[in-house]
Structure 1
Amino acid sequence: MMDDRIETAEHAWHGLRVLLLEQHDRRKEVAEALGMSFNRVKALRRIANQPCTLRSLAEFMVIDAPYATVIVDDLAKRGLVERTANPADRRSKLVRVTPPGRAAAEEGNRILDTPPDALLALPPDDLAALDRIVTRLLD
């Protein structure tokens, strides 16, 4: 009985991975639209969500601190983020989004959140069931 559950979960997970990362991967689209690598887009979206230190950004992105610095330097050069004093620790800086950075992050979110046509074509009951399941998985 448990083997069936595991097999079904693996099948569902495989399907989700293929759906999101192969058939409807929006990472290339958002990178092209914003004119930067997807890692920079990911960092910008994180910073727009909440100012952070370079260390916390590196941890979030699962990258080393020097690479996080390279990404933030590039975003700052583009005028999308700025470094400010960290009131909690004067030895570190907080990275904050600028108004143009917020607009770019919002555009990135809009592109990434655009559902594929196949999802929009689902019957309303199936779509509602999928929404319920995804919400449960995110809790």
Structure 2
Amino acid sequence: MSTDQDAPLPPDDLAPRLYEVFAVLGPLYRRVTRKVELNEPLEGLSVGVRAVLDLLRTHGPMTVPQMGRAQAISRQFVQRMVNEAAAHDFVEAVPNPAHQRSSLIRLTGAGRTAIDTVIARESALLKKVDGDLTGADVDTCIRVLTRMLDAFADVDVN
């Protein structure tokens, strides 16, 4: 049985509700970022390096421009993070068969170990989220955030 809660909201009603999402998302992002910064000194990972390593863990070798597009951050920032990761021997550049001038960046064994350690520690922290959340709740959250992200896909980050 469908209720008014299940009906799509018109834009004038949707916009203030999505602003509520931003109002929660901003502080959440800042708290998680701070927690990562406080907990990652052993691996030598800044939030930016952690993001690069996780992206490579998830998608495999990528170019710096591909990583920038995937994370909606500037290529220059990604390059600095890749350089920092390379200084810790977490990543290495390898030839790119599709483009001679744009190397692929891939995880090293040390990088794989570092990001796997971080993910395991973060997963343990996420298990502390209490409540009666369901898989459907999480699916809805991801759908809403993805829709919001898609709405701003035209914003240039470079």
Instruction: Please point out which of 34, 48, 65 is paired with 2:43.
Output: 34
- Cα distance, 1:5 vs structure 2: 5.3
Q: What is the distance in 1 between the residues matched to 2:116 and 2:70? A: 19
Instruction: Please point out which of 74, 80, 86 is paired with 1:63.
Output: 74
Q: CA 1:30–1:91 in structure 2 vs 1: closer, same or farther (change >3 Å)?
A: same
- State the superposition RMSD in angstroms: 2.7
- Alignment partner, residue 135 of structure 1: 139
Structure 1 unaligned segments of length 5 or more: list them. none
Identity %: 21
> Structure 1 residue 73 and structure 2 residue 83: aligned?
yes
The one-letter amino acid paired with 1:63 is S
> Structure 1 residue 88 and structure 2 residue 98: aligned?
yes
Higher helix share: 1
Q: Which structure would you say has the larger RCO, counting Cα contacts within 8 Å and 6 or more residues apart?
A: 1
Instruction: Please point out which of 24, 33, 56 is paired with 1:47.
Output: 56
Shift >6 Å, 4+ stretches: none
Q: What is the distance in 2 between the residues matched to 1:103 and 1:85? A: 23
- Cα distance, 1:80 vs structure 2: 0.8
Q: Given the two structures, how large is their TM-score scaled by the length of structure 2?
A: 0.65
The one-letter amino acid paired with 2:67 is L
- Cα distance, 1:6 vs structure 2: 4.6
> Paired residues, what number?
130
